[in-house]
Chain A
Amino acid sequence: MPKVLLVEDNPAVWKIYHTLLLREGYQVDCAGDGEAALEKARQDPPDLVLLDLRMPKLDGLGFLRAYDVKHQHPQVKVVVFSNSENPDEVREATELGAVRYMVKYTATPKTMLALIRELLAPAG
Protein backbone atom coordinates (compact mmCIF):
# COMPACT_ATOMS: atom_id res chain seq x y z
CA MET A 1 0.00 0.00 0.00
CA PRO A 2 1.30 3.47 -0.80
CA LYS A 3 2.76 5.45 2.08
CA VAL A 4 1.41 8.89 2.90
CA LEU A 5 3.23 11.34 5.21
CA LEU A 6 0.82 13.79 6.77
CA VAL A 7 2.59 16.99 7.88
CA GLU A 8 0.21 19.18 9.85
CA ASP A 9 0.43 20.97 13.20
CA ASN A 10 -3.29 21.32 13.91
CA PRO A 11 -4.56 18.14 15.67
CA ALA A 12 -8.17 18.79 14.64
CA VAL A 13 -7.03 18.59 11.02
CA TRP A 14 -4.41 15.81 11.09
CA LYS A 15 -6.58 13.50 13.18
CA ILE A 16 -9.45 13.48 10.70
CA TYR A 17 -7.17 13.10 7.69
CA HIS A 18 -5.21 10.39 9.51
CA THR A 19 -8.41 8.47 10.16
CA LEU A 20 -9.73 8.88 6.61
CA LEU A 21 -6.41 8.00 4.93
CA LEU A 22 -6.16 4.84 7.04
CA ARG A 23 -9.70 3.91 6.06
CA GLU A 24 -8.72 4.35 2.42
CA GLY A 25 -6.07 1.75 3.08
CA TYR A 26 -2.91 3.85 2.95
CA GLN A 27 0.03 3.53 5.30
CA VAL A 28 -0.05 6.82 7.16
CA ASP A 29 2.63 8.57 9.16
CA CYS A 30 2.16 11.93 10.87
CA ALA A 31 4.49 14.81 11.68
CA GLY A 32 3.64 18.01 13.59
CA ASP A 33 6.41 20.20 12.16
CA GLY A 34 8.93 20.36 9.32
CA GLU A 35 11.84 18.97 11.28
CA ALA A 36 9.93 15.85 12.37
CA ALA A 37 8.69 15.44 8.81
CA LEU A 38 12.23 15.67 7.44
CA GLU A 39 13.43 12.99 9.84
CA LYS A 40 10.59 10.60 8.96
CA ALA A 41 10.87 11.20 5.23
CA ARG A 42 14.62 10.54 5.29
CA GLN A 43 14.24 7.32 7.29
CA ASP A 44 11.37 5.98 5.23
CA PRO A 45 10.64 7.90 2.00
CA PRO A 46 6.84 8.17 1.46
CA ASP A 47 5.00 8.02 -1.85
CA LEU A 48 3.07 11.18 -1.08
CA VAL A 49 3.45 14.07 1.37
CA LEU A 50 0.45 16.13 2.41
CA LEU A 51 2.28 19.29 3.50
CA ASP A 52 1.05 22.26 5.52
CA LEU A 53 3.08 25.48 5.08
CA ARG A 54 2.71 27.32 8.40
CA MET A 55 4.34 25.14 11.04
CA PRO A 56 6.68 25.56 14.00
CA LYS A 57 10.44 24.84 13.82
CA LEU A 58 10.66 24.29 10.08
CA ASP A 59 7.89 25.45 7.78
CA GLY A 60 6.60 23.71 4.67
CA LEU A 61 8.83 25.60 2.22
CA GLY A 62 11.79 24.85 4.49
CA PHE A 63 10.93 21.16 4.32
CA LEU A 64 10.72 21.27 0.52
CA ARG A 65 14.13 22.93 0.35
CA ALA A 66 15.82 20.65 2.91
CA TYR A 67 14.37 17.43 1.52
CA ASP A 68 15.18 18.71 -1.97
CA VAL A 69 12.15 17.08 -3.52
CA LYS A 70 12.96 18.42 -6.94
CA HIS A 71 16.36 16.80 -7.32
CA GLN A 72 16.83 14.11 -4.71
CA HIS A 73 13.28 12.79 -4.32
CA PRO A 74 11.48 13.42 -7.61
CA GLN A 75 9.39 10.27 -7.10
CA VAL A 76 7.81 11.71 -3.91
CA LYS A 77 4.59 13.54 -4.73
CA VAL A 78 4.13 16.59 -2.51
CA VAL A 79 0.70 18.15 -2.19
CA VAL A 80 0.84 21.49 -0.43
CA PHE A 81 -2.16 21.94 1.77
CA SER A 82 -2.31 25.47 3.16
CA ASN A 83 -4.56 28.37 3.96
CA SER A 84 -2.08 30.77 2.43
CA GLU A 85 -3.15 32.18 -0.92
CA ASN A 86 -0.02 34.26 -1.31
CA PRO A 87 0.93 33.88 -5.01
CA ASP A 88 4.65 34.08 -4.11
CA GLU A 89 4.34 31.09 -1.78
CA VAL A 90 2.36 29.14 -4.35
CA ARG A 91 5.03 29.84 -6.99
CA GLU A 92 7.89 28.96 -4.67
CA ALA A 93 6.29 25.69 -3.56
CA THR A 94 5.78 24.69 -7.19
CA GLU A 95 9.36 25.63 -8.06
CA LEU A 96 10.62 23.52 -5.14
CA GLY A 97 8.85 20.47 -6.53
CA ALA A 98 5.30 20.41 -5.14
CA VAL A 99 2.88 18.82 -7.62
CA ARG A 100 -0.30 20.46 -6.33
CA TYR A 101 -1.26 23.41 -4.22
CA MET A 102 -4.57 22.99 -2.39
CA VAL A 103 -6.18 25.84 -0.47
CA LYS A 104 -7.18 24.34 2.84
CA TYR A 105 -10.34 26.30 3.57
CA THR A 106 -11.92 25.49 0.19
CA ALA A 107 -10.94 21.81 0.10
CA THR A 108 -12.91 19.06 1.78
CA PRO A 109 -11.65 15.59 2.72
CA LYS A 110 -13.64 14.25 -0.22
CA THR A 111 -11.82 16.39 -2.78
CA MET A 112 -8.49 15.75 -1.07
CA LEU A 113 -8.93 11.98 -1.03
CA ALA A 114 -9.97 12.01 -4.66
CA LEU A 115 -6.82 13.94 -5.54
CA ILE A 116 -4.57 11.62 -3.53
CA ARG A 117 -6.18 8.58 -5.14
CA GLU A 118 -5.58 10.10 -8.57
CA LEU A 119 -1.93 10.94 -7.79
CA LEU A 120 -1.19 7.53 -6.34
CA ALA A 121 -2.99 5.52 -8.99
CA PRO A 122 -0.58 3.09 -10.69
CA ALA A 123 0.72 4.62 -13.88
CA GLY A 124 -1.15 3.54 -16.99
Chain B
Amino acid sequence: MTLAYRSLAACSAAMVLCAIAGGYAAYAFDRMTEIAVDVQRVSEVLIAAHQLQLEGMSSALLLDEYLEHPRPELRNALEASRSRSEQARRTVRQQTRLPRVRQLLDEYEEPLPPRAAVVGDMVWRATAGATRSALTAARHARDTLEARAGAYLRSMVALENSAMVAALASAQARRSEYRERVLDLAGLTIVLIGLISLLTSRRITRRLLPLLSMAHDVRQAQFRTRVDARGADEIATLAGAFNQMAAELQELDTAKEDFVAVASHQLRTPATAVKANLSSVLDGYFGPLPPEQQEVLQDAYGANERQLEIIHDLLWVARAETGRLTLSKADTDLVQLLESVVAEHRAGIQERAQALEVSALEAPVRLVADAQKLKMVLDNLLSNASKYTPGGGRIVVRLEARTDDVELIVQDTGIGIAAEDRDKLFRKFSRVEDARARDIAGTGLGLYLANEIVKLHGGAITLTSAVGQGSTFRVSLPRA
Protein backbone atom coordinates (compact mmCIF):
# COMPACT_ATOMS: atom_id res chain seq x y z
CA MET B 1 0.00 0.00 0.00
CA THR B 2 1.47 3.36 -0.93
CA LEU B 3 1.85 6.15 1.57
CA ALA B 4 -0.79 8.20 -0.20
CA TYR B 5 -3.33 5.38 0.28
CA ARG B 6 -2.20 4.90 3.85
CA SER B 7 -2.69 8.58 4.69
CA LEU B 8 -6.03 8.46 2.90
CA ALA B 9 -7.04 5.48 5.06
CA ALA B 10 -5.93 7.29 8.22
CA CYS B 11 -7.90 10.40 7.15
CA SER B 12 -10.97 8.25 6.39
CA ALA B 13 -10.75 6.60 9.81
CA ALA B 14 -10.57 10.04 11.41
CA MET B 15 -13.53 11.19 9.32
CA VAL B 16 -15.59 8.12 10.31
CA LEU B 17 -14.90 8.91 13.96
CA CYS B 18 -15.94 12.53 13.41
CA ALA B 19 -19.12 11.32 11.67
CA ILE B 20 -19.95 8.98 14.58
CA ALA B 21 -19.47 11.79 17.09
CA GLY B 22 -21.48 14.21 14.91
CA GLY B 23 -24.24 11.62 14.34
CA TYR B 24 -24.58 11.05 18.03
CA ALA B 25 -24.75 14.81 18.66
CA ALA B 26 -27.55 15.07 16.06
CA TYR B 27 -29.38 12.14 17.66
CA ALA B 28 -29.07 13.78 21.10
CA PHE B 29 -30.39 17.05 19.65
CA ASP B 30 -33.41 15.20 18.17
CA ARG B 31 -34.11 13.47 21.46
CA MET B 32 -33.89 16.78 23.31
CA THR B 33 -36.28 18.36 20.79
CA GLU B 34 -38.75 15.50 21.32
CA ILE B 35 -38.53 15.99 25.06
CA ALA B 36 -39.14 19.72 24.62
CA VAL B 37 -42.21 18.98 22.45
CA ASP B 38 -43.46 16.59 25.12
CA VAL B 39 -42.94 19.17 27.86
CA GLN B 40 -44.79 21.70 25.71
CA ARG B 41 -47.72 19.25 25.27
CA VAL B 42 -47.89 18.54 29.00
CA SER B 43 -47.86 22.28 29.75
CA GLU B 44 -50.67 22.82 27.21
CA VAL B 45 -52.78 20.15 29.00
CA LEU B 46 -52.00 21.80 32.30
CA ILE B 47 -53.00 25.23 30.99
CA ALA B 48 -56.26 23.76 29.58
CA ALA B 49 -57.08 22.07 32.89
CA HIS B 50 -56.48 25.34 34.72
CA GLN B 51 -58.65 27.13 32.20
CA LEU B 52 -61.47 24.61 32.83
CA GLN B 53 -61.28 25.46 36.52
CA LEU B 54 -61.29 29.20 35.80
CA GLU B 55 -64.19 28.95 33.32
CA GLY B 56 -66.19 26.92 35.90
CA MET B 57 -65.73 29.63 38.47
CA SER B 58 -66.38 32.49 36.06
CA SER B 59 -69.56 30.90 34.64
CA ALA B 60 -70.85 30.44 38.22
CA LEU B 61 -70.24 34.12 38.95
CA LEU B 62 -71.81 35.24 35.64
CA LEU B 63 -74.86 33.10 36.31
CA ASP B 64 -75.30 34.57 39.82
CA GLU B 65 -75.06 38.06 38.34
CA TYR B 66 -77.59 37.17 35.62
CA LEU B 67 -80.03 35.81 38.20
CA GLU B 68 -79.88 39.19 39.94
CA HIS B 69 -79.89 41.31 36.76
CA PRO B 70 -80.96 39.31 33.70
CA ARG B 71 -79.23 41.34 31.06
CA PRO B 72 -78.72 39.85 27.57
CA GLU B 73 -74.90 40.61 27.47
CA LEU B 74 -74.50 38.43 30.60
CA ARG B 75 -76.14 35.55 28.73
CA ASN B 76 -73.79 36.07 25.86
CA ALA B 77 -70.80 36.06 28.25
CA LEU B 78 -72.11 32.79 29.77
CA GLU B 79 -72.31 31.25 26.27
CA ALA B 80 -68.77 32.38 25.49
CA SER B 81 -67.44 30.87 28.74
CA ARG B 82 -69.14 27.56 27.94
CA SER B 83 -67.64 27.44 24.50
CA ARG B 84 -64.13 28.18 25.93
CA SER B 85 -64.69 25.33 28.43
CA GLU B 86 -65.55 23.02 25.55
CA GLN B 87 -62.40 24.05 23.71
CA ALA B 88 -60.28 23.41 26.84
CA ARG B 89 -61.92 19.97 27.36
CA ARG B 90 -61.09 19.07 23.74
CA THR B 91 -57.50 20.14 24.31
CA VAL B 92 -57.18 18.04 27.47
CA ARG B 93 -58.70 14.99 25.80
CA GLN B 94 -56.50 15.23 22.73
CA GLN B 95 -53.21 16.09 24.39
CA THR B 96 -53.12 14.13 27.62
CA ARG B 97 -51.22 10.89 27.78
CA LEU B 98 -52.66 9.99 31.17
CA PRO B 99 -55.64 7.50 31.01
CA ARG B 100 -56.64 8.57 34.47
CA VAL B 101 -57.00 12.18 33.32
CA ARG B 102 -59.17 11.04 30.41
CA GLN B 103 -61.27 9.02 32.88
CA LEU B 104 -61.60 12.05 35.19
CA LEU B 105 -62.60 14.14 32.17
CA ASP B 106 -65.31 11.55 31.37
CA GLU B 107 -66.51 11.72 34.93
CA TYR B 108 -66.46 15.53 34.74
CA GLU B 109 -68.37 15.57 31.46
CA GLU B 110 -70.93 12.91 32.44
CA PRO B 111 -73.08 15.26 34.60
CA LEU B 112 -72.79 18.13 32.14
CA PRO B 113 -76.25 17.66 30.51
CA PRO B 114 -78.10 17.70 33.95
CA ARG B 115 -75.99 20.73 34.93
CA ALA B 116 -76.94 22.43 31.67
CA ALA B 117 -80.60 21.58 32.34
CA VAL B 118 -80.37 23.03 35.84
CA VAL B 119 -78.69 26.17 34.54
CA GLY B 120 -81.20 26.47 31.67
CA ASP B 121 -84.03 26.12 34.15
CA MET B 122 -82.50 28.79 36.36
CA VAL B 123 -82.02 31.15 33.42
CA TRP B 124 -85.57 30.62 32.29
CA ARG B 125 -86.90 31.24 35.82
CA ALA B 126 -84.87 34.37 36.22
CA THR B 127 -86.11 35.66 32.84
CA ALA B 128 -89.62 34.82 33.77
CA GLY B 129 -89.22 36.62 37.13
CA ALA B 130 -89.38 33.67 39.54
CA THR B 131 -89.41 34.08 43.29
CA ARG B 132 -86.20 34.42 45.24
CA SER B 133 -86.74 31.18 47.22
CA ALA B 134 -87.18 29.12 44.05
CA LEU B 135 -83.99 30.58 42.67
CA THR B 136 -82.10 29.84 45.86
CA ALA B 137 -83.12 26.17 45.70
CA ALA B 138 -82.02 25.96 42.08
CA ARG B 139 -78.72 27.66 42.91
CA HIS B 140 -78.14 25.16 45.68
CA ALA B 141 -78.65 22.22 43.33
CA ARG B 142 -76.24 23.80 40.87
CA ASP B 143 -73.64 24.42 43.56
CA THR B 144 -73.71 20.73 44.55
CA LEU B 145 -73.16 19.70 40.94
CA GLU B 146 -70.38 22.28 40.47
CA ALA B 147 -68.60 21.15 43.60
CA ARG B 148 -68.38 17.57 42.26
CA ALA B 149 -67.12 18.86 38.88
CA GLY B 150 -64.54 21.06 40.66
CA ALA B 151 -63.19 18.03 42.51
CA TYR B 152 -62.64 16.17 39.21
CA LEU B 153 -60.87 19.18 37.78
CA ARG B 154 -58.56 19.56 40.77
CA SER B 155 -57.56 15.88 40.51
CA MET B 156 -56.86 16.39 36.81
CA VAL B 157 -54.75 19.46 37.48
CA ALA B 158 -52.85 17.65 40.23
CA LEU B 159 -52.15 14.69 37.92
CA GLU B 160 -51.02 16.87 35.01
CA ASN B 161 -48.91 18.93 37.37
CA SER B 162 -46.98 15.87 38.56
CA ALA B 163 -46.69 14.77 34.91
CA MET B 164 -45.16 18.18 34.18
CA VAL B 165 -42.73 17.92 37.08
CA ALA B 166 -41.72 14.39 35.98
CA ALA B 167 -41.28 15.51 32.36
CA LEU B 168 -39.08 18.42 33.41
CA ALA B 169 -36.99 16.20 35.72
CA SER B 170 -36.52 13.60 32.98
CA ALA B 171 -35.63 16.34 30.47
CA GLN B 172 -33.00 17.63 32.87
CA ALA B 173 -31.58 14.13 33.40
CA ARG B 174 -31.47 13.37 29.69
CA ARG B 175 -29.88 16.72 28.95
CA SER B 176 -26.96 15.96 31.34
CA GLU B 177 -26.63 12.44 29.95
CA TYR B 178 -26.51 13.56 26.31
CA ARG B 179 -24.16 16.39 27.14
CA GLU B 180 -21.69 14.01 28.82
CA ARG B 181 -21.88 11.45 26.04
CA VAL B 182 -21.35 14.06 23.29
CA LEU B 183 -18.37 15.49 25.17
CA ASP B 184 -16.93 11.98 25.75
CA LEU B 185 -17.29 11.11 22.10
CA ALA B 186 -15.70 14.40 20.97
CA GLY B 187 -12.78 13.81 23.38
CA LEU B 188 -12.34 10.23 22.21
CA THR B 189 -12.39 11.35 18.58
CA ILE B 190 -9.72 13.98 19.22
CA VAL B 191 -7.51 11.46 21.06
CA LEU B 192 -7.96 8.80 18.34
CA ILE B 193 -7.26 11.25 15.53
CA GLY B 194 -4.17 12.42 17.41
CA LEU B 195 -3.06 8.82 17.84
CA ILE B 196 -3.67 7.97 14.19
CA SER B 197 -1.65 10.97 12.95
CA LEU B 198 1.11 10.29 15.47
CA LEU B 199 1.42 6.64 14.40
CA THR B 200 1.27 7.52 10.71
CA SER B 201 3.91 10.23 11.03
CA ARG B 202 6.13 8.04 13.23
CA ARG B 203 5.92 5.26 10.67
CA ILE B 204 7.06 7.64 7.97
CA THR B 205 9.77 9.20 10.13
CA ARG B 206 11.16 5.81 11.15
CA ARG B 207 11.56 4.82 7.54
CA LEU B 208 13.11 8.16 6.62
CA LEU B 209 15.86 7.88 9.26
CA PRO B 210 18.09 5.42 7.32
CA LEU B 211 17.76 7.70 4.28
CA LEU B 212 18.84 10.65 6.39
CA SER B 213 21.86 8.77 7.69
CA MET B 214 22.69 7.66 4.14
CA ALA B 215 22.44 11.26 2.90
CA HIS B 216 24.83 12.18 5.68
CA ASP B 217 27.25 9.45 4.53
CA VAL B 218 27.03 10.64 0.91
CA ARG B 219 27.77 14.17 2.08
CA GLN B 220 30.86 12.75 3.79
CA ALA B 221 31.79 11.12 0.45
CA GLN B 222 30.95 7.63 1.77
CA PHE B 223 29.18 6.06 -1.19
CA ARG B 224 29.12 2.48 0.00
CA THR B 225 26.06 2.80 2.26
CA ARG B 226 22.82 1.26 0.98
CA VAL B 227 19.32 1.36 2.44
CA ASP B 228 16.51 -1.19 2.46
CA ALA B 229 14.43 -0.45 -0.64
CA ARG B 230 11.89 -3.25 -0.29
CA GLY B 231 8.23 -2.37 -0.52
CA ALA B 232 6.08 -0.51 -3.03
CA ASP B 233 5.43 2.83 -1.41
CA GLU B 234 6.98 6.22 -2.10
CA ILE B 235 9.69 5.84 0.55
CA ALA B 236 10.79 2.52 -0.96
CA THR B 237 10.93 4.21 -4.37
CA LEU B 238 12.95 7.03 -2.84
CA ALA B 239 15.26 4.52 -1.15
CA GLY B 240 15.75 2.77 -4.50
CA ALA B 241 16.63 6.09 -6.12
CA PHE B 242 19.05 6.81 -3.26
CA ASN B 243 20.76 3.43 -3.71
CA GLN B 244 21.05 3.96 -7.44
CA MET B 245 22.43 7.45 -6.92
CA ALA B 246 25.00 6.14 -4.41
CA ALA B 247 26.00 3.32 -6.77
CA GLU B 248 26.51 5.80 -9.60
CA LEU B 249 28.44 8.15 -7.34
CA GLN B 250 30.57 5.23 -6.21
CA GLU B 251 31.30 4.31 -9.82
CA LEU B 252 32.21 7.90 -10.62
CA ASP B 253 34.35 8.08 -7.51
CA THR B 254 36.14 4.84 -8.40
CA ALA B 255 36.70 6.12 -11.94
CA LYS B 256 38.10 9.34 -10.50
CA GLU B 257 40.39 7.47 -8.10
CA ASP B 258 41.48 5.11 -10.88
CA PHE B 259 42.36 8.14 -12.97
CA VAL B 260 44.28 9.65 -10.04
CA ALA B 261 46.12 6.35 -9.54
CA VAL B 262 47.07 5.97 -13.21
CA ALA B 263 48.07 9.63 -13.54
CA SER B 264 50.14 9.47 -10.35
CA HIS B 265 51.98 6.35 -11.54
CA GLN B 266 52.73 8.06 -14.82
CA LEU B 267 53.96 11.18 -13.00
CA ARG B 268 56.12 9.19 -10.64
CA THR B 269 58.34 7.67 -13.34
CA PRO B 270 59.78 10.97 -14.65
CA ALA B 271 59.85 12.48 -11.15
CA THR B 272 61.95 9.52 -9.99
CA ALA B 273 64.33 10.02 -12.92
CA VAL B 274 64.71 13.69 -11.95
CA LYS B 275 65.53 12.63 -8.41
CA ALA B 276 68.19 10.13 -9.49
CA ASN B 277 69.89 12.65 -11.77
CA LEU B 278 69.72 15.62 -9.40
CA SER B 279 70.93 13.70 -6.38
CA SER B 280 73.88 12.24 -8.28
CA VAL B 281 74.98 15.78 -9.14
CA LEU B 282 74.31 17.04 -5.59
CA ASP B 283 76.19 14.09 -4.10
CA GLY B 284 79.26 15.18 -6.03
CA TYR B 285 79.58 12.30 -8.49
CA PHE B 286 80.40 14.82 -11.23
CA GLY B 287 82.77 16.92 -9.22
CA PRO B 288 82.34 19.64 -6.61
CA LEU B 289 79.65 22.27 -7.24
CA PRO B 290 80.03 26.04 -6.88
CA PRO B 291 77.89 27.10 -3.85
CA GLU B 292 75.34 28.97 -5.99
CA GLN B 293 74.76 25.97 -8.24
CA GLN B 294 74.59 23.76 -5.21
CA GLU B 295 71.82 25.98 -3.77
CA VAL B 296 69.82 26.11 -7.00
CA LEU B 297 70.00 22.36 -7.46
CA GLN B 298 69.15 21.83 -3.81
CA ASP B 299 65.95 23.85 -4.31
CA ALA B 300 65.13 21.80 -7.39
CA TYR B 301 65.75 18.63 -5.41
CA GLY B 302 63.45 19.85 -2.62
CA ALA B 303 60.69 20.63 -5.11
CA ASN B 304 61.10 17.19 -6.66
CA GLU B 305 60.86 15.57 -3.23
CA ARG B 306 57.61 17.47 -2.59
CA GLN B 307 56.29 16.26 -5.92
CA LEU B 308 57.10 12.64 -5.03
CA GLU B 309 55.51 13.11 -1.64
CA ILE B 310 52.26 14.38 -3.22
CA ILE B 311 52.24 11.51 -5.70
CA HIS B 312 52.79 9.08 -2.84
CA ASP B 313 49.88 10.52 -0.86
CA LEU B 314 47.60 10.64 -3.89
CA LEU B 315 48.24 7.00 -4.67
CA TRP B 316 47.50 5.91 -1.13
CA VAL B 317 44.37 8.06 -0.97
CA ALA B 318 43.18 6.56 -4.27
CA ARG B 319 43.68 3.15 -2.71
CA ALA B 320 41.84 4.12 0.46
CA GLU B 321 38.95 5.62 -1.51
CA THR B 322 38.39 2.58 -3.65
CA GLY B 323 38.63 0.16 -0.76
CA ARG B 324 42.01 -1.12 -1.94
CA LEU B 325 43.77 0.07 1.17
CA THR B 326 44.06 -3.25 2.92
CA LEU B 327 46.28 -4.31 5.75
CA SER B 328 48.83 -7.07 5.64
CA LYS B 329 49.23 -7.71 9.33
CA ALA B 330 52.11 -9.43 11.01
CA ASP B 331 53.60 -9.59 14.46
CA THR B 332 55.18 -6.15 14.91
CA ASP B 333 57.34 -4.62 17.60
CA LEU B 334 56.10 -1.07 18.02
CA VAL B 335 59.21 0.00 19.95
CA GLN B 336 61.40 -0.96 17.03
CA LEU B 337 59.01 0.64 14.53
CA LEU B 338 58.94 3.87 16.52
CA GLU B 339 62.71 3.95 16.84
CA SER B 340 63.22 3.43 13.11
CA VAL B 341 60.84 6.27 12.22
CA VAL B 342 62.41 8.55 14.81
CA ALA B 343 65.86 7.74 13.41
CA GLU B 344 64.76 8.88 9.94
CA HIS B 345 63.53 12.20 11.32
CA ARG B 346 66.28 12.88 13.83
CA ALA B 347 68.57 14.73 11.40
CA GLY B 348 65.79 16.97 10.07
CA ILE B 349 64.59 17.83 13.58
CA GLN B 350 68.10 18.73 14.66
CA GLU B 351 68.49 20.88 11.55
CA ARG B 352 65.45 22.93 12.64
CA ALA B 353 66.97 23.31 16.11
CA GLN B 354 64.13 21.45 17.77
CA ALA B 355 64.59 19.30 20.84
CA LEU B 356 63.49 15.68 20.41
CA GLU B 357 62.53 13.60 23.39
CA VAL B 358 61.75 9.93 22.91
CA SER B 359 60.48 7.84 25.77
CA ALA B 360 59.74 4.46 24.33
CA LEU B 361 59.74 1.34 26.42
CA GLU B 362 62.63 -0.93 27.11
CA ALA B 363 60.82 -4.19 26.40
CA PRO B 364 59.31 -4.80 22.94
CA VAL B 365 55.62 -3.94 22.59
CA ARG B 366 54.14 -6.55 20.29
CA LEU B 367 51.06 -6.02 18.20
CA VAL B 368 49.62 -7.75 15.16
CA ALA B 369 49.62 -4.85 12.72
CA ASP B 370 50.64 -3.62 9.28
CA ALA B 371 54.10 -2.24 10.07
CA GLN B 372 54.57 -0.47 6.73
CA LYS B 373 51.31 1.45 7.11
CA LEU B 374 51.76 2.24 10.79
CA LYS B 375 55.14 3.61 9.80
CA MET B 376 53.36 5.94 7.38
CA VAL B 377 51.11 7.12 10.22
CA LEU B 378 53.97 7.79 12.59
CA ASP B 379 56.05 9.32 9.83
CA ASN B 380 53.22 11.73 9.04
CA LEU B 381 52.66 12.72 12.67
CA LEU B 382 56.34 13.26 13.29
CA SER B 383 56.94 15.27 10.13
CA ASN B 384 53.85 17.40 10.94
CA ALA B 385 55.12 17.98 14.47
CA SER B 386 58.44 19.16 13.11
CA LYS B 387 56.92 21.24 10.29
CA TYR B 388 54.50 23.11 12.53
CA THR B 389 56.90 23.74 15.40
CA PRO B 390 59.18 26.77 15.30
CA GLY B 391 62.93 26.47 15.88
CA GLY B 392 63.77 25.96 19.54
CA GLY B 393 60.55 24.06 20.12
CA ARG B 394 60.22 20.59 21.58
CA ILE B 395 58.85 17.36 20.18
CA VAL B 396 58.02 14.45 22.46
CA VAL B 397 57.39 10.94 21.17
CA ARG B 398 56.00 8.42 23.63
CA LEU B 399 54.70 4.88 23.59
CA GLU B 400 52.30 3.73 26.29
CA ALA B 401 51.41 0.06 26.57
CA ARG B 402 48.28 -0.88 28.52
CA THR B 403 46.30 -4.08 28.95
CA ASP B 404 43.71 -3.35 26.28
CA ASP B 405 45.50 -0.99 23.97
CA VAL B 406 48.70 0.68 22.96
CA GLU B 407 49.04 4.43 22.53
CA LEU B 408 51.57 6.21 20.31
CA ILE B 409 51.82 9.83 21.33
CA VAL B 410 53.40 12.65 19.33
CA GLN B 411 53.43 15.96 21.15
CA ASP B 412 54.80 19.30 20.00
CA THR B 413 55.12 22.89 21.18
CA GLY B 414 54.12 24.21 17.74
CA ILE B 415 51.54 26.63 16.40
CA GLY B 416 48.59 24.50 17.52
CA ILE B 417 45.26 23.89 15.81
CA ALA B 418 42.19 26.10 16.33
CA ALA B 419 39.06 24.31 17.54
CA GLU B 420 37.16 25.13 14.32
CA ASP B 421 39.89 23.45 12.24
CA ARG B 422 40.02 20.21 14.22
CA ASP B 423 37.08 18.50 12.49
CA LYS B 424 38.40 19.33 9.03
CA LEU B 425 41.86 18.09 9.87
CA PHE B 426 41.23 14.43 8.99
CA ARG B 427 39.42 15.23 5.74
CA LYS B 428 41.01 15.01 2.32
CA PHE B 429 42.88 18.09 1.09
CA SER B 430 42.01 20.02 4.23
CA ARG B 431 44.71 22.28 5.50
CA VAL B 432 44.67 24.61 8.41
CA GLU B 433 44.49 28.27 7.35
CA ASP B 434 47.47 29.15 9.51
CA ALA B 435 49.61 26.52 7.76
CA ARG B 436 48.70 27.94 4.35
CA ALA B 437 49.44 31.44 5.60
CA ARG B 438 52.84 30.35 6.89
CA ASP B 439 53.52 28.63 3.57
CA ILE B 440 54.27 25.28 5.14
CA ALA B 441 54.38 22.53 2.54
CA GLY B 442 51.72 19.85 2.71
CA THR B 443 49.12 18.07 0.61
CA GLY B 444 46.34 17.88 3.15
CA LEU B 445 46.26 14.14 2.59
CA GLY B 446 48.64 12.83 5.25
CA LEU B 447 46.32 12.99 8.24
CA TYR B 448 43.37 11.74 6.21
CA LEU B 449 45.44 8.72 5.24
CA ALA B 450 46.83 8.24 8.76
CA ASN B 451 43.30 8.28 10.13
CA GLU B 452 42.12 5.72 7.53
CA ILE B 453 45.01 3.40 8.37
CA VAL B 454 44.39 3.66 12.12
CA LYS B 455 40.65 3.07 11.58
CA LEU B 456 41.47 -0.09 9.59
CA HIS B 457 43.41 -1.27 12.63
CA GLY B 458 40.30 -0.69 14.75
CA GLY B 459 41.93 2.24 16.50
CA ALA B 460 41.46 5.99 16.59
CA ILE B 461 43.49 9.17 16.45
CA THR B 462 42.59 11.81 19.01
CA LEU B 463 43.84 15.35 19.16
CA THR B 464 44.23 17.90 21.91
CA SER B 465 45.59 21.28 20.97
CA ALA B 466 45.84 24.93 21.99
CA VAL B 467 46.67 27.66 19.49
CA GLY B 468 50.19 28.94 20.06
CA GLN B 469 50.98 26.21 22.61
CA GLY B 470 51.14 23.03 20.60
CA SER B 471 49.30 19.85 19.69
CA THR B 472 49.19 16.29 20.97
CA PHE B 473 48.16 13.46 18.65
CA ARG B 474 47.34 10.13 20.26
CA VAL B 475 47.11 7.01 18.13
CA SER B 476 45.30 4.37 20.09
CA LEU B 477 45.47 0.79 18.77
CA PRO B 478 43.53 -2.08 20.34
CA ARG B 479 45.57 -5.11 21.41
CA ALA B 480 43.08 -7.79 20.40
- Residue numbers of A with Cβ under 8 A of B are 10, 12-13, 16-17, 20, 23, 83, 85, 87, 104-105, 108-110
Contacts and interface: CB of A to CB of B under 8 A. Distances in A.
A108 B282 CA distance: 11
Interface string B259-299: 00000010011111111110110010100000000000000
Contacts of A13: 272-273, 276
B272 A83 contact: yes
B398 interface: no
B279 A104 contact: no
Contact of B276 (A16, A23, A85, A87): A16
B372 A87 contact: yes
B312 interface: yes
A105 to B, nearest CB: 5
A8 B110 CA distance: 146
Given A16-B280, A87-B372, A110-B283, A105 B271 contact: yes
Given A12-B270, A87-B372, A110-B283, A105 B312 contact: yes
Contacts of B311: 105
B344 to A, nearest CB: 10
B277 A105 contact: no
B308 to A, nearest CB: 5
B328 interface: yes
20 contacts: A10-B270, A10-B272, A10-B273, A12-B273, A13-B272, A13-B273, A13-B276, A16-B273, A20-B280, A83-B268, A83-B269, A85-B372, A87-B328, A104-B272, A105-B271, A108-B276, A109-B280, A109-B283, A110-B279, A110-B283
Given A23-B285, A105-B268, 4 more contacts: A10-B272, A13-B272, A83-B265, A108-B279
Contacts of B271: 105
Contacts of B268: 83, 105
A55 B265 CA distance: 13
A58 B269 CA distance: 18
A21 to B, nearest CB: 11
Residue of B268, B273, B283, B372 most packed against chain A (CB within 10 A): B273
Interface of B: 265, 268-277, 279-280, 283, 285, 308, 311-312, 328, 372
A108 B284 CA distance: 13
A46 to B, nearest CB: 21
Contacts of A83: 265, 268-269, 272
A87 B375 CA distance: 14
Contacts of A110: 279-280, 283
B285 A109 contact: yes
Nearest to A11: B273
Residue of A13, A17, A83, A105 most packed against chain B (CB within 10 A): A105
Contact of A105 (B272, B285, B328, B372): B272
Please provide the 7 A-B residue pairs with the shortest distance between their CB atoms, ordered closest to farther.
A12-B273, A108-B279, A109-B280, A105-B272, A110-B283, A13-B273, A105-B308
Contacts of B270: 10, 12
Contacts of B279: 108-110
A105 B273 CA distance: 8
Contacts of B277: 12, 16
B285 A20 contact: yes
A23 B280 CA distance: 12
A48 B272 CA distance: 22
A12 B272 CA distance: 9
A67 to B, nearest CB: 24
Given A87-B328, A105-B312, A10 B269 contact: yes
A85 B315 CA distance: 10
